[in-house]
Chain A
Amino acid sequence: MSFQILLNLFLAFLWMFLSSNYSLSRFIIGYLLGLLVIIALRKFFKTRLYIDRVWAVIKLIVLFIKELILANVSVLTLVIKPKLDIKPAIFKYDTQLTEDWEITLLSSLITLTPGTVVVHVSDDAKSLFIHVIDSNDIDETIDSIKYSFEKAILEVSRS
């Protein structure tokens, strides 16, 4: 992935040297042309295209904003309910993420979406302990984490 970015930058500089015009617009044109060449020759690379990964990051950001709004609305409904019928609980969530940055990102995303707070990462870093505000639909919470955030992060990190 980093090799592809370096190659793309090299192609952009090559384009600037060929046209002997060292301005930002030339650089951007060269970069886009290099991107086209890299996409055309995608079969030569062992790893996936880096532009795929950028797209996955954008998708993750959009997903996070959507989840943030939805979860805040759900907490608002909990707050303004006249009767408080919540059952707080702490449950263990087994994650399949391995890298430090993945675990940190997942924990931050879980904490920033209201209703769930990560209180601890287990010593072998294989499971998170999550405090949930309403344990009536705990399986739903686990599914929503597993199939939204964790899937999106794996999408970003797979080579």
Chain B
Amino acid sequence: MKTNDVIMQFTAKIVFFIIFFYAVHIFFAGHYTPGGGFVGGLVTASAIVLLIIAFDLKTVQSILPINYIYLVACGLIISLGTAAFSMFVDKPFFTHFFDYFNLPILGKTSLHTAALFDLGVYLVVVGVTMTIIQTIGEDE
């Protein structure tokens, strides 16, 4: 007996975007204000979990066909690559670089390799959380 939860599904569809945008904002705010890759990843995972609660596991897997184990691997490779890059230019492991660039639209922006490392952390957190939740959820 499938009940009609039209209110829940419609609200989840809208709220998903709000939560996801907030997660991206928190990810980029991590350098000067509270936030960063870990929290951003958890908030993104919670947005996907909201979709899973409103619909069901198979629907969400067909909407977002992501293999979360590969996502963890990609995140680890990005983080390790960022950390290991400094060894090729005769600096100690984990040395970060930053500089100011004049980008076409954003103007003067400081780009920091710590953001790349954080991106790796973000992907790992999303992947691990979603893998745990999907594995538990699929247990029939």
**Interface pair A121/B10, CB less than 8 Å apart:** no
Query: How large, as a class, is the contact surface on chain A?
Result: 10 to 19
Report which of B2, B3, B6 forms a contact with A100, defined as CB distance below 8 A.
B6
Instruction: Check A104 against B11 for contact (C-beta < 8 Å).
Output: yes
Docked Cα-Cα span, A8 to B9, in Å, equals 33
A103 to chain B, nearest CB (A): 6
Contacts of A137 in B (CB 8 A): none
**Chain A residue nearest to B1 in the complex (CB):** A123
For the complex, give the distance between the alpha carbons of A120 and B5 in Å: 8
Bound complex: CA A120 to CA B4 (Å) = 8
B11 touches A125 (CB 8 A): no
A-facing residues in B1-58 (Cβ within 8 Å):
2-7, 9-11
B3 touches A123 (CB 8 A): yes
Contacts of B3 in A (CB 8 A): 120, 123
B10 touches A100 (CB 8 A): yes
Majority SS at the chain B contact face: helix
Please tell me the size bucket of the interface on B.
under 10
Which residues on the B side are within 8 Å of A125 (C-beta)? 4, 6
Chain A 112-135 interface mask (CB, 8 Å, partner B; 1/0): 000000101111110000000000
Smallest beta-carbon distance B16→chain A, Å: 15
CB distance from A71 to the nearest CB of B (A): 20
Quick check: is A101 within 8 A (CB to CB) of the other chain? yes
Q: Which residue of chain B is the closest to A105 with respect to CB atoms? A: B10
Q: Closest residue of chain B to A123, judged by CB? A: B4
List of A residues within 8 angstroms of B5 by Cβ: 121
C-alpha gap A124/B11 in the complex (Å): 19
Measured in the bound complex, the distance between the Cα atoms of B70 and A47 in whole Å is 48
Which residues from B are CB-within-8-Å of A101? Answer: 10
Partner of B7 from A107, A122, A123, A124 at Cβ < 8 Å: A107
Q: Are A100 and B9 in contact (CB under 8 A)?
A: yes
Measured between beta carbons, the chain A residues less than 8 angstroms from B2 are 123
- Give chain B residues whose Cβ lies under 8 Å from the Cβ of A118: 7
Cβ distance B19 to chain A, nearest Cβ, rounded Å? 18
Residue of B2, B5, B9, B11 with highest tally of chain A CB at under 10 A: B11
Q: Which 7 A-B pairs have the closest CB atoms?
A: A104-B10, A123-B4, A100-B10, A104-B7, A121-B4, A107-B7, A121-B6
Q: Given A103-B7, A103-B10, output 14 extra A-B contacts at Cβ < 8 Å.
A: A100-B6, A100-B9, A103-B6, A104-B7, A104-B10, A104-B11, A108-B7, A120-B4, A121-B4, A121-B5, A123-B3, A123-B4, A125-B4, A125-B6
Please, could you name 23 A-B residue pairs with CB atoms under 8 Å apart, sorted by A? Answer: A100-B6, A101-B10, A103-B7, A103-B10, A104-B6, A104-B7, A104-B10, A104-B11, A107-B7, A108-B7, A120-B3, A120-B4, A121-B4, A121-B5, A121-B6, A121-B7, A122-B4, A123-B2, A123-B3, A123-B4, A124-B4, A125-B4, A125-B6
